[in-house]
């Protein structure tokens, strides 16, 4: 059975947790009830105007409980990065593939299941603390299936020496699998940390990942959050990221999307106190029939809060991109600054971009602006490069890479920047032949 009921039927089939705390069970039921009530969103819903999820609703997804994965294969897939690493295979935590050595002090990095088993009350405070987190259909579905995920707690004044790397691997299975991970990050006051969420699929994997992330950035904390999405082109990736920011906090998001058949990201930041700063950087590159949808929202709930956003999209073949960015300034949230930019490049006439940068402003002493451009490459630059002997295709390829580079330049993890740059080069049409060129840079 497929559709709403088909998904709910899987709930009964899932393995029961031992002695599930009652509040978790209640949450799960509430999530299921909510999902049953709202059903899958359709395109009459303004939030889903350009994204049709009927392909997900029609599919039947199973659950899995094993995390078997070849170590060598994992090494080939994962980021070369010195980090505290947790690995999830089809949503199931693998202690064997993870590496948390050297983690000390007031920091905890745990799989959610373990945290719930050892001290569920401590988790209860954070899980679903944000309003409306489980309101949307997919988030409600996630709540109904809550079982695993990551919970990262960074204590007061801790400056983490290495990034926390959360790797979610999706396997090619006989039958498609669904996973509903929940990621909780608590960055204590004055702490500094980098979190990397990395989603990667084996070629041919056709699974559904439906993740909800909740991030709490306490007073004067600095949190850098990478989300690198490299699902297979047959996978569905749905992500809701909720950020709550306290006074003087700084949150910076890099939302980098290369994979997925349908990839949808919802980022919602609540700037709750003065001098909170939120930076959103995004890059999406679709080709073939990929569909990539990014919805971002920044709620300026307090005066003197600041946001910046820069999203870039590249679309080739019959790919479709969606950008919907909202800057919302609440009544009395004076002296807010909000900037938003979205630029897109269409490489094919069959590709499409639907973009809507929104401003919703209820305070007068503010300065907000947004801009979008969709167009082509600078022909003068193409000519200048041809005059150096580059063929036109390569000139265009390099300029396309440069277009993406504007976002990657802000990435402070060189291995992530390089990986994405290579992936972008690799995704460009073969005629651009850029792969070798990018790699040559290392020399």
430 binds another protein (CB under 8 A): no
- CB-CB neighbours of 184 under 10 Å: 23
Give the footprint of another protein on residues 258-287 (CB under 8 A).
none
**Taking CB under 8 A as the rule, does residue 414 contact another protein?**
no
Exactly one of 68, 378, 412, 426 binds another protein (CB under 8 A); which one? 378
- State the nearest-atom distance from the C-beta of 317 to another protein, in Å: 11
Backbone torsions φ then ψ of 342, nearest 5 degrees: -140, 125
- Our finding on whether 389 is near another protein (CB under 8 A) is yes
Question: Does residue number 392 form part of the binding site for another protein (CB under 8 A)?
Answer: yes
Contacts 24+ apart (CB under 8 A), 47-52: 47/136, 47/295, 47/324, 49/354, 50/293, 50/320, 50/322, 50/354, 51/262, 51/264, 51/291, 51/293, 51/322
Nearest approach, Cβ of 371 to another protein (angstroms)?
5
Which residue in 71, 162, 169, 179 sits closest to 109, CA to CA?
162
Q: Which residues of 305-324 are buried (b: 16+ CB within 10 A; e: fewer)?
A: bbbbbbbbbbbbebbbbbbb
375 lines the binding site for another protein (CB under 8 A)? yes
Residue 268 makes CB contacts below 8 A (sequence gap 6+) with 240, 241, 242, 243, 296, 297, 299
- Neighbouring residues of 76: CB distance < 8 A, sequence distance ≥ 6: none
- Select the residue interacting with another protein from 19, 72, 76, 387 (CB under 8 A): 387
Does residue 383 touch another protein according to CB under 8 A? yes
Q: For another protein, which residue of 362, 410, 426, 431 counts as binding (CB under 8 A)? A: 362
Two tokens, residue 22: 């009652």
Distance of closest approach, residue 396 Cβ to another protein, in angstroms: 11
Task: Give the one residue of 347, 417, 418, 424 binding another protein; rule: CB under 8 A.
Answer: 347
- Residue 354 is a binding residue for another protein (CB under 8 A): yes
Closer CB to another protein, residue 156 or residue 370?
A: 370
Choose, by CB under 8 A, the member of 157, 172, 247, 356 that binds another protein.
Answer: 356
Q: Does 121 bind another protein (CB under 8 A)?
A: no
The rounded distance, in Å, linking the Cα atoms of 173 and 237 is 16
Report, in Å, the least distance between residue 53 CB and another protein.
19
Dump strand ranges (E) for 287-436: 291-300, 306-315, 320-329, 337-346, 352-361, 367-375
Q: Are 74 and 169 in contact (CB under 8 A)?
A: yes
20 or 317, CB closer to another protein?
A: 317
Question: Rule CB under 8 A: is residue 156 a binding residue for another protein?
Answer: no
Query: At its nearest, how many Å lie between another protein and the CB of residue 237?
Result: 23
Find the shortest distance in angstroms from Cβ 202 to another protein.
Answer: 31
In contact, 313 and 342? CB cutoff 8 Å: yes
Q: Closest separation between CB of residue 329 and another protein, Å?
A: 8
Distances (CA, A) of 308 to 148, 152, 255, 276, 281: 32, 26, 14, 12, 8
- Binding to another protein by residue 390, rule CB under 8 A? yes
What value, to the nearest 5°, has the Cα angle with vertex 202 and ends 42 and 230? 60
Examine residue 366 and tell whether it contacts another protein (CB under 8 A). yes
Interacting stretch for another protein, rule CB under 8 A, among 33-41, 115-123, 134-142, 382-390?
A: 382-390
Q: Does 417 bind another protein (CB under 8 A)?
A: no
List residues binding another protein (CB under 8 A). 46, 331-332, 334, 344, 346-376, 378, 380-381, 383-392, 394, 398-399, 401-403, 405-406, 409, 436-438, 440-443
């Amino acid at each position: 059975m497929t559709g709403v009921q088909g998904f709910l039927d899987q709930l009964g089939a899932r393995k029961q947790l031992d002695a599930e705390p009652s509040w978790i069970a209640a949450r799960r039921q509430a999530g299921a009830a909510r999902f049953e009530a709202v059903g899958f969103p359709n395109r009459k819903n303004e939030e889903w105007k350009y994204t049709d999820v009927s392909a997900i609703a029609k599919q039947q997804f199973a659950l899995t409980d094993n995390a078997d994965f070849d170590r060598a294969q994992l090494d080939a897939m994962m980021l070369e990065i010195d980090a505290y690493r947790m690995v999830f295979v089809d949503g199931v935590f693998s202690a064997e593939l993870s590496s948390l050595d050297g983690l000390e002090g007031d920091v905890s990095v745990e799989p959610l299941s373990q945290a719930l088993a050892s001290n569920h009350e401590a988790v209860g405070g954070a899980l679903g603390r944000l309003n409306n987190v489980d309101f949307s259909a997919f988030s409600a579905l996630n709540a109904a299936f809550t079982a695993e995920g990551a919970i990262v707690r960074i204590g007061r004044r801790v400056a983490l020496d290495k990034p926390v790397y959360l790797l979610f691997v999706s396997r090619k299975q006989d039958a498609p699998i669904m996973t509903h991970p929940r990621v909780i990050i608590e960055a204590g006051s004055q702490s500094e940390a980098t979190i990397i969420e990395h989603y990667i699929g084996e070629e041919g994997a056709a699974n559904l990942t439906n993740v909800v992330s909740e991030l709490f950035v306490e007073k004067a904390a600095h949190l850098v959050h990478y989300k690198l999405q490299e699902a297979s082109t047959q996978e569905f990736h749905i992500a809701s990221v909720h950020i709550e920011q306290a006074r003087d906090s700084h949150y910076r998001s890099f939302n980098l999307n290369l994979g997925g058949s349908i990839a949808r990201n919802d980022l919602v930041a609540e700037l709750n106190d003065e001098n909170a700063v939120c930076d959103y950087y995004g890059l999406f590159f679709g080709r073939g029939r990929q569909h990539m949808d990014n919805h971002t929202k920044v709620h300026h709930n307090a005066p003197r809060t600041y946001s910046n956003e820069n999203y870039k999209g590249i679309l080739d073949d019959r790919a479709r991109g969606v950008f919907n960015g909202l800057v919302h300034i609440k009544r009395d949230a004076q002296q807010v600054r909000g900037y938003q930019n979205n630029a897109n490049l269409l490489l094919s006439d069959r590709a499409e971009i639907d973009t809507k940068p929104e401003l919703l402003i209820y305070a007068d002493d503010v300065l907000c602006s947004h801009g979008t451009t969709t167009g082509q490459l600078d022909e003068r630059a193409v000519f200048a490069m041809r005059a150096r002997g580059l063929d036109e295709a390569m000139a265009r390829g390099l300029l396309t890479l440069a277009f993406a580079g504007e976002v990657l330049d802000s990435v402070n993890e060189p291995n992530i920047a390089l990986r994405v740059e290579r992936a972008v080069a690799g995704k460009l049409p073969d005629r651009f032949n850029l792969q070798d060129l990018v790699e040559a840079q290392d020399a």
